[in-house]
A = this chain, B = another copy of it.
Amino acid sequence: MRDVAEAAGVSTKTVSEVVNGIGQVRESTRRRVMATIEELGYQPNPAARRLNSESTGVLTLALPRLASGLHAALAAAVIEVAESGGRVVALEPTGGDPERELEILRNDSGVADGAILALVALGEQAGGAVAGAPVVLLGTRPLRLPFDQVVADSAAMTESAVALLRSHGRERVAILGTEELLSPHLPPAGAAGAAEAAKAGLRVAANALTRAAGYAAVDSLAAGGVPFDGLVALGDALAFGALHALRDRSLAVPADVEVIGIGRAAESAYSWPSLSTVEADVRDMAERAHAWLLERIAGETGPPRHYDVPFTVVERESTRPTG
């Protein structure tokens, strides 16, 4: 920058102002400086720039893993949004490890101005942890935590899915998820009544959010003799595993069992049969989370906010009423 200033015959301050497009610089001066910058191929040093501002220009995006259509889409959206704001996104696959999630929360590395964090392992017990930098949470259900939260409400999405299957005349709709995801759908402890008990039998817990777990869970459900004619899978991976299991058990989709996933379109359109889904608006999530994070970084101190992401039901072959 000094070189530029000297070559253009101005002070570094003027160069700085031109580069940042601030201050009152005479047009002729600006042009001269611009030309010199061009000529010398000058590029501002981001580190130096940040030394003053106390900020690094880096946002952390922490997700359990990238090998999930939903998360990949989310990551792409966040990156795009952040980039248009001139910020760099450091992706951090946590693998669903609570330790890693805590590290992000505390901003152990210290390299980020703030983080967008999809909490999976950590629940409300994370409340004890003190965030080392502003944090916005991404989740599938609201948590009682002192952070802004952008929620693609799994319970509400599941309800829509169930409602769709019911409208197709399916009475015995099983719900497949992990324990955690399932909890909002379980009848309250001690609830009486045969209907409730029967429903409970249709809640299938997979031990992970993977295709293999989805396969295993549905396989044993089918083996168990509890009849079902509808299946809602909380996650694409589970849904694909489920489709596979149903096929191996010679249960036709959608004739015998209609299947719908809570997840992501792109993944689903080319399975066989193509999978109906309930999809959250990923772009909207990214924008909201990003906007809130920037506000917090800028010093906003209001109470934790909460945003429900809109979603859509997309019908494909797996729920197309036969006939």
Contacts and interface: CB of A to CB of B under 8 A. Distances in A.
Interface stretch (A23-31, A191-199, A268-276): A268-276
Interface residues of A, number: 43
A79 B92 contact: yes
A66 B58 contact: no
Given A75-B66, A90-B89, A48 B46 contact: no
Given A46-B111, A89-B90, A270 B240 contact: yes
Given A48-B51, A270-B211, A270-B241, A65 B76 contact: yes
Given A211-B269, A244-B272, A270-B244, A47 B43 contact: no
A69 interface: yes
Given A66-B72, A72-B72, A241-B270, 8 more contacts: A45-B51, A47-B50, A65-B76, A89-B91, A211-B269, A215-B270, A240-B270, A244-B272
Nearest to A243: B272
- Work out how many copies of this chain go into the complex: 2
21 contacts: A43-B110, A46-B110, A47-B50, A47-B56, A48-B51, A57-B111, A58-B88, A66-B66, A66-B72, A66-B73, A66-B75, A72-B72, A76-B93, A79-B93, A80-B93, A88-B88, A89-B91, A90-B90, A212-B270, A240-B271, A244-B272
A105 to B, nearest CB: 15
Contacts of A271: 240, 271-272
Contacts of A240: 270-271
Interface of A: 43-48, 50-51, 54, 56-58, 65-67, 69, 72-73, 75-76, 79-80, 88-93, 110-111, 211-212, 215, 240-241, 243-244, 247, 266, 269-272
Contacts of A58: 58, 88, 90
Contacts of A266: 67
Nearest to A79: B91
A75 B46 contact: no
A67 B72 contact: yes
Contacts of A270: 211-212, 215, 240-241, 244
Nearest to A66: B72
Most B C-beta atoms less than 10 A away, residue of A54, A57, A88, A269: A88
B91 A75 contact: yes
Given A72-B66, A73-B67, A111 B93 contact: no
B72 A110 contact: no
Contacts of A76: 65-67, 93
A90 B93 contact: no
B66 A88 contact: no
